[in-house]
A and B are shown apart, each in its own frame.
Chain A
Amino acid sequence: MFEICADPKSLEGLTWLSCYLTSGKHMNMYWAFGTVLLLLAVTAPIAMLFGFFGAMAARSQYFALRLIGKGYTGMVRGVPDIVFFLFFVIALDQGIEYIMHLLRCPDWTEPVRNGLEFRVCPQAKVPLGSAPQTVHQFYGFMLAVLTFALVFGAFAANVLYGAMQAVPRAQLETAEAYGLSPAQVFRRVLVPQMWVYALPGLSNLWLILIKATPLLFLLGVQDIVYWAREMGGAKTQAFDYPHPDWRLYYFLFLLVFYLAFTRVSEIVLNRISARLSKGQATAAGEAMRKAGL
């Protein structure tokens, strides 16, 4: 990056370190932090959406819809989330390719699943075999986002379902007495009131989501865990910057990153919670009133 870094072997001490930390591969690693933040920014709203519809389905008056909703909210309870991560990435990939296969090659006669092989016609490959590397990476990332959103949507559905149940029954009955239709009751009374009850669960979920991001590594995305292993491994003299096994320090850095991220999130979430509780007729609001805030 800097001029002085042209010949790394001649450097020593701090100059060596500054050149080392700004090498091309390290820049890739710093971008990977961006990937993690991007994943969080994209996943959180999608997961909320999934969770919202999951909770709605679980409260539905139609049995089939309720079964789907209950199944979705229940799926994360008994089974480790990492099973879903490993499962969905392959299952989604194969599902998408199978649909493309049906659309693009209707007269393909060979079976798709033949013994140990999953083979679709070449035009149905997603992304196409001829696509550039960046498209493959983008597709992998989107699969990861979808997987995260599906799993965390189930967690969010649990929280939102609980929050919807927590809205006092009298509020809904009053709305019904005023002649509001079920849809109106839901939209105008239930949804605006449920957020106060959902906030503790959702803040918790956000912290869990942060802590789940290293699992991106298992989904085949080149994330910070991948780079920490890659960069930290011992480098021989054949490399520009030879060094012994430094993976410990790289992982220590990741640990500090996550601790700091968690702490900052906690502080922000506490502020939001305090702001929402102010003047509310809840225990938290009452405590604030007594403290004279």
Chain B
Amino acid sequence: MTCWETIGAYAFRSIGYGERLLPRTDFTLCQQFTLIGSGLIWNVYFGVVALIFGFVLANAIAFAKASHNPLVRKPAEWFIFLFRGSPLFIQFFLAYEALQMLPRAGIDVFGITVHTSWTTKAWAGALFVLFLNTAAYSAEIFHGALRSIPKGDLEAAEAYGLTGFAKFRRIQWPTMLRLAWPAYTNEAIFLFHSTTLVFFSGFPAFQQRGDALYYASYFADKTFNPFVPYPIVAGYFIALTLLLIWLMSAINTRLNRHLPSNMSGKIRLRPQVIR
């Protein structure tokens, strides 16, 4: 089997296309690169989708936490504490067991049967946990940024007659994003890193369709040689991280475009938010 044939057979193995059987003997470097790269599709899927939906929810929760009404503020505070105070690993396990408790036959809602079995699959269940988790971490970042909006900016907005939603949309929200963006970039990077936990935490890899680390540990188990597959995963993730930093920096530049170039917040990686 040449390397091109291997790539053809395994490039989309993680999402169910190509060769069914994983290689069992005579592991080549090409196979390891291809399969682990194929698994990266899952990491990107979990990361991107959770990040996009989490961003929306995080904004809502950040503003809820900044609210003066305790009925709105308290639930937001508890939500953030729950997801930031406990390990993601336990959250995955708990969610999997909880979703398994749903009735097998589906729930009857007004005569329509809502199926529940799909929720225990990794693509839905794990994604849901990651979505809530990143929403909680990002909400804390956004809340911090919201509190550090310069007082003068808000007063200036009011002086110009901006109130209510107009003030929020044109002043508060963009300033919050601008201030939070370096920290949010950090959060995004570590969200991608934590997607590797999914298939080690109860969610089964259906028909051996797993993520990058799943295939890497498969190879490490089969070959008793950790020195090839794990560096490959590491290489893929460094590339992914660099791509993410580049993308987020581009957005950062756009958010800061009205400021002189020496005043924009610089994105620095601070490894402080692993779960």
Report if A82-B213 is in contact (Cβ < 8 Å); known contacts: A214-B90, A225-B90, A259-B86: yes
Q: Which of B236-253 contact A (CB under 8 A)?
A: 237-238, 241-242
| Cβ–Cβ contact B200 & A82, under 8 A | yes
Q: Within the complex, which residue of A77, A204, A214 is in contact with B89, where a contact is CB–CB below 8 Å? A: A214
A20 within 8 A of B: no
Q: What are 23 A-B residue pairs whose CB atoms fall within 8 Å in the complex?
A: A77-B241, A77-B271, A78-B237, A78-B242, A79-B234, A80-B194, A80-B196, A80-B233, A82-B200, A87-B230, A90-B226, A94-B224, A116-B25, A116-B223, A118-B224, A211-B87, A214-B90, A225-B89, A225-B90, A225-B93, A229-B93, A248-B98, A259-B85
Report the interface size class on chain B.
Answer: 35 or more
A213 within 8 A of B: yes
| Cβ–Cβ contact B226 & A91, under 8 A | yes
* C-alpha spacing A118/B272, complex, angstroms: 37
| Cβ–Cβ contact A263 & B85, under 8 A | yes
B100 neighbours in A (Cβ, 8 Å): 245
Report if A211-B242 is in contact (Cβ < 8 Å); known contacts: A78-B237, A91-B227: no
| Cβ–Cβ contact B230 & A78, under 8 A | no
Q: CB-defined interface of A59-103 with B at 8 Å, one 1/0 digit per residue?
A: 000000000000000001111111100110011001000000000
A53 within 8 A of B: no
| Cβ–Cβ contact A78 & B213, under 8 A | no
B26 → chain A closest CB, angstroms? 9
Report if A251-B93 is in contact (Cβ < 8 Å); known contacts: A80-B193, A86-B226, A91-B227: yes
B226 neighbours in A (Cβ, 8 Å): 86-87, 90-91, 94
B73 within 8 A of A: no
Report if A252-B225 is in contact (Cβ < 8 Å); known contacts: A208-B272, A218-B200: no
* C-alpha spacing A38/B233, complex, angstroms: 31
Q: Which of A226-242 contact B (CB under 8 A)?
A: 228-229, 232
| Cβ–Cβ contact A79 & B97, under 8 A | no
Closest A residue by C-beta to B269: A77
| Cβ–Cβ contact A211 & B230, under 8 A | no
B197 neighbours in A (Cβ, 8 Å): 82
B89 neighbours in A (Cβ, 8 Å): 214-215, 217, 225
B53 within 8 A of A: no
Given contacts A245-B100, A252-B94, 11 further A-B contacts (CB under 8 A): A76-B271, A77-B269, A78-B234, A91-B227, A155-B271, A211-B86, A211-B274, A218-B200, A254-B90, A255-B94, A263-B81
B270 neighbours in A (Cβ, 8 Å): 158
Report if A80-B94 is in contact (Cβ < 8 Å); known contacts: A225-B89, A248-B101: no
* C-alpha spacing A77/B245, complex, angstroms: 12
* C-alpha spacing A158/B271, complex, angstroms: 8
Closest B residue by C-beta to A73: B271
B220 within 8 A of A: yes
B residues adjacent to A (C-beta < 8 A): 25, 27, 81-82, 85-91, 93-94, 97-98, 100-101, 192-194, 196-197, 200, 213, 216-217, 220, 222-227, 230, 233-234, 237-238, 241-242, 269-272, 274-275
* C-alpha spacing A14/B255, complex, angstroms: 61
* C-alpha spacing A90/B228, complex, angstroms: 12
| Cβ–Cβ contact B97 & A248, under 8 A | yes
Q: Within the complex, which residue of B87, B213, B238 is in contact with A258, where a contact is CB–CB below 8 Å? A: B87
Q: Which of A184-229 contact B (CB under 8 A)?
A: 201, 204-205, 208, 210-215, 217-218, 225, 228-229
Q: Within the complex, which residue of A83, A213, A215 is in contact with B234, where a contact is CB–CB below 8 Å? A: A83
B94 → chain A closest CB, angstroms? 4
Report the interface size class on chain A.
Answer: 35 or more
* C-alpha spacing A64/B106, complex, angstroms: 62
* C-alpha spacing A86/B93, complex, angstroms: 19
The 7 A-B residue pairs whose C-beta atoms are closest, nearest first, are A80-B193, A78-B238, A87-B230, A248-B97, A262-B85, A90-B226, A211-B87
A117 within 8 A of B: yes
* C-alpha spacing A86/B238, complex, angstroms: 17
Closest B residue by C-beta to A262: B85
A113 within 8 A of B: yes
Closest A residue by C-beta to B223: A116
A278 within 8 A of B: no
* C-alpha spacing A205/B275, complex, angstroms: 11
A247 within 8 A of B: yes
| Cβ–Cβ contact B196 & A83, under 8 A | yes
Closest A residue by C-beta to B82: A259
B222 neighbours in A (Cβ, 8 Å): 116
B197 → chain A closest CB, angstroms? 6
Q: Within the complex, which residue of B97, B220, B223, B237 is in contact with A80, where a contact is CB–CB below 8 Å? A: B237
Report if A86-B230 is in contact (Cβ < 8 Å); known contacts: A218-B200, A254-B90, A255-B90: yes
| Cβ–Cβ contact A251 & B85, under 8 A | no
* C-alpha spacing A258/B87, complex, angstroms: 7
* C-alpha spacing A183/B192, complex, angstroms: 41
A87 neighbours in B (Cβ, 8 Å): 226, 230
Most buried by B among A76, A80, A254, A258: A80
